[in-house]
Amino acid sequence: MEEREERETIDDRGSEENKGKNPDEQIQNEKENLLNQLEEKEKIIQDYKERWLRALADYDNFRKRMEKEIKEVNLYAGEQLIKEILPILDNFERALKSAENDLNSTIEGIKLIYNQLKNLLSKYGVAEIEAEGKPFDPYYHEVVMQVQNPEYDDNIVLEVLQKGYTFHSRVIRPCLVKVVKNN
């Protein structure tokens, strides 16, 4: 009697399609069902793995492409500036040729070239550091000489020996200066 109750319990728990089948068939069907589910899950896992590998490859390709583009940008970053400097070089060559004939024309030509170059540098964000008569600032100035001068307070820039420049407010070359030191 217990065996019959067990079978009925198994039959009750089994699916509708398994009703009326013997327990071995039910177990076999359940096993096949589980194997099918496992196979589906493995396919899903494989699909995710393939997608993940593709995403990694895409990212790696993207990274390599960006590195290449950055190298190209760095390599050719100054191209426009160079193109604009070339006419100034041409003007220097003309000035040197005319120096043989007329000294005044040469001086005027050199002044013109100087102004062209200053304007070009300004256009690209290069500015001259104002220093003479101003208090010494180690961020903008580099002391190369100290002199006594009772007409000025200590640490005042008396003379600029070499101009300094900023590039978009970053110092790219400090001024070389002569500073007052009365003590």
- The per-residue pLDDT for range 157-170, each reduced to its tens digit, is 999 999 999 999 89
- The per-residue pLDDT for range 107-152, each reduced to its tens digit, is 888 888 889 989 988 998 999 999 999 999 999 999 999 999 999 8
pLDDT band (50, 70, 90) for residue 56: very high
Q: Provide the pLDDT for residue 16.
A: 54
149 assigned to some structural domain: yes
Q: How many structural domains are present in the chain?
A: 1
Strand-strand pairing, 126-128 and 170-173: unpaired
Q: Which domain holds residue 142?
A: 128-183
CATH number, domain with residue 134: 2.30.22.10
The single-letter code of the amino acid at 80 is Q
85 assigned to some structural domain: no
27 assigned to some structural domain: no
65 assigned to some structural domain: no
